[in-house]
Amino acid sequence: MATHWVKALTIIHSHDEAGTLTAYQKGDWLPVKNQQLRILLAKGQIEIQSQAYKTALDLVACGIVITDGDLSNAQTYIARASRYLEVVGGEMRLAFSRTLFWDGKCHLRLDLMPVGFHRLTTGWQVAAPIYSYTTLAKDLGDEEDRARTLEIVRDLRVPVYDPRLVYMRRCSDTERLMQVWEAEGGGDERLTFLRALYIVKPTICALPPSWIKSTDGRG
């Protein structure tokens, strides 16, 4: 059955082939099958624009920086979605206008990757999945790590983001975010990233936890 990429005109909840439910926001691109395509078109919830599709999904000026895992395997995996998307290793840096920082040891959903990059063209500077709806900052790190986080965040009863999958648009704010993220390093990486976000305060799009699935069962 053919898959079509369409643009959401309203919030759309859609299941992927594995049965995972994802909420797509207005302006997002999502893959649909023939039957769902007809239903969503009839309801006026989507549109198909060939030129807009090309602009949104050709991944121009996008690239991936691998933060862990095997670079060669990551490049092979990404090539299944795009042969032209550059995947590099090395130090953490905003190597592209729109950069995805990806821990290659966790599962990146290729169907959502273009949507993540597209979010960075709609006003967001950063996009990252919430780690868990039940795990809060107070549940992570050691006493020193939590004390440092409390000093900045002021309340540890907040969800944290998953730093294994972070989309960033290169700008002065995210350049500073990268500097602060490195400076705050040490302890639990989720708390480190949270502190950096609260210090710099970029516009961040909170993605559902289902955007990332860990091969070790943690995602």
CATH for the stretch 1-53:
3.40.5
Q: Which of 3-17, 32-46, 175-189 has the lowest mean pLDDT?
A: 3-17
CATH fold of 58-214: Spore Coat Polysaccharide Biosynthesis Protein SpsA; Chain A (3.90.550)
Beta-strand (E) ranges in 25-140?
A: 29-33, 46-47, 62-68, 86-88, 98-103, 106-108, 126-129
Its pTM stands at 0.76
* pLDDT tops 50 at residue 51: no
- Return the pLDDT at 179: 97
Q: pLDDT exceeding 90 applies to what percent of the chain?
A: 56
Residue 204, pLDDT above cutoff 90? yes
The torsion angle over the Cα atoms of residues 124, 81, 99 and 14, rounded to 10 degrees, is 20
Q: What are the domain boundaries of the chain?
A: 1-53, 58-214
Q: What average pLDDT does range 197-210 have in this prediction? A: 96
User: Percent of the chain having pLDDT more than 70?
Assistant: 89
Transcribe 118-144 into DSSP letters.
Answer: HHTTTT-SEEEEBS-SS-BGGGSS-HH
CA distances from 65 to 82, 83, 192 (A): 15, 16, 19
Do the beta carbons of residue 82 and residue 117 sit within 8 Å?
no
- What's at 65, amino acid-wise? V
Q: What are phi and psi of 10, to 5 degrees?
A: -140, 180
Is 55's pLDDT higher than 50? no
| Banded model confidence at residue 213, pLDDT cuts 50, 70, 90 | low
